[in-house]
Structure 1
Amino acid sequence: MYQTVHEHIGSMERENPGSSNNSACVRLHFLETTDSRRYNLPAVEENAVVLPGPGEATDHQDIILQHKAGPLKRIYETNPAYAPLHYVLLFPRGELGWHCRIKYANNEGSRSDAEQDESETSKRKYISQMEYYAYQIHHRKSEFESSHLFMAKNLFQQYIVDAFAQID
């Protein structure tokens, strides 16, 4: 897959020379009238998120895919393919991320059927984003699958910051 993507980008650059000069610039400005202890500019490179205040419009961090001979496709933050597309190194096999239809696991034998039927009608059936990410970042010593996230260092921190922004 990675070779194909690399080749596709190379062919796009050959077909449209000079069109790859699209660059974005983000600047943080410090206003002298604000409290410098609270609203200071970053002094070191670190992962952070800028959340809009109440009543402010929010922009989504969607991924736009272009099919080789087709139209563009938008992948929203709530799409289960968002995390593996955005964090390819963390999810190299394309494991799906959170979506709104992930049901709670049924631990058979933990409760009787009557208790389970009663509790299912009074509780939610699907896990929330917060519960999903809490499970993802819970370190389990016996599984390599869970510990590889912690080995990613700054990329893992960025994943956590993005997860926090999505939950909020």
Structure 2
Amino acid sequence: LKFDLKVSTIMSGSTSTLRYPGYMNNDLISLISSLIPTPRLHFLISAYTPLTSDNTESEVRKTTVLDVMRRLLQPKNVMVTTAARDRNVTHCYVSILNIIQGDVDPSEVHKSLMRIRERKLADFIPWGPASIQVALSKKSPYVTTQHRVSGLMLANHTGISSVG
């Protein structure tokens, strides 16, 4: 996909809770404050799935909340290459916020979080909360897609220290 499409998709996803406000995460401060525990840990990474263009839209299979949340944790969907992909170096998440867009049942989110925790798909720092925060958002009424659910992950990860 083209770089501009990736950037615009990430920006659209990250501001979706501002454009379609819910009861939580409806301003930038509430989005960012939970991701940055101290001022020195302020570098965030993002991941998005499914990342499609008009040409590949038909190839994307139906998505479930669990599929989306699991794919967001896969390094191939992260928009920056870090040492987190190096198996010899141990890095972990400081915090994660998943913004799930689409037709989503909150009980599906809870089940997905439980399954991710059971499978230990995300390693967290030992000195902080080890949980994935989730914000639900509507999809834009102006964009039609074949997938019912998409997801954006904004994460604070120790692997970002290798980028420089």
Q: Structure 2 length normalisation: TM-score? A: 0.27
TM-score of the superposed pair, with normalisation by structure 1: 0.26
Higher relative contact order (CA 8 A, sep 6+): 2
